[in-house]
Amino acid sequence: MCGVLDIPSAWALIDQIHGCDVVVAYAPDHLGEADGIMTSVPLLPIAIGTADCVPLVLTGHQTVAVIHAGWRGVAAGVVGEAFRMMEEAGSAVRSAVIGPHIGSCCYEVGPDVIDAIGGFAKSTTSGAPSVDLAGAARAQLPGVDVTVIDKCTMHDGGFYSHRENATPHRQVTVAWIPQDS
pLDDT digits (tens, 9 = 90+) for 111-146: 999 999 988 999 999 999 999 999 999 999 999 999
The sheet that has 54-60: what strands, in order across it? 22-25, 36-39, 64-69, 54-60, 93-98, 145-148
Least confident of 19-33, 133-147, 154-168: 154-168
Which region holds residue 59: left if phi is over 0, alpha if psi is between -120 and 50, else beta?
A: beta
- Does residue 4 sit in helix, strand or coil? helix
Q: What is the arithmetic mean of pLDDT over 145-166? A: 84
Which pLDDT score, from 0 to 100, does residue 13 have?
Answer: 96
In the chain, % of residues over pLDDT 70: 97
- Spatial distance between the Cα atoms of 64 and 96, rounded to a whole number of angstroms: 10
Which pLDDT score, from 0 to 100, does residue 108 have?
Answer: 92
Q: What is the arithmetic mean of pLDDT over 68-83? A: 96
Which pLDDT score, from 0 to 100, does residue 171 have?
Answer: 81
Between 45 and 153, the higher pLDDT residue = 45
Strand 121-123 versus strand 22-25 pairing type: unpaired
Helix spans in the chain (H): 2-5, 71-76, 78-88, 111-116, 133-138, 162-165
**What phi and psi values does residue 44 have, to the nearest 5 degrees?**
-105, 105
Q: What is the arithmetic mean of pLDDT over 106-111? A: 92
Give the CA distances from residue 174 to residues 1, 65, 92, 178, in Å, rounded to whole numbers and listed in that order: 11, 9, 20, 13
In the predicted structure, residue 6 carries a pLDDT above the cut 80: no
Q: What number does CATH give the domain 2-175?
A: 3.60.140.10
Residue 4: band (very low, low, confident or very high) from pLDDT cuts 50, 70, 90: low
Which pLDDT score, from 0 to 100, does residue 115 have?
Answer: 94
Burial of 15 (0-12, 13-18, 19+ CB in 10 A): exposed
Which pLDDT score, from 0 to 100, does residue 168 have?
Answer: 76
Domain boundaries, the chain: 2-175
Which pLDDT score, from 0 to 100, does residue 162 have?
Answer: 81
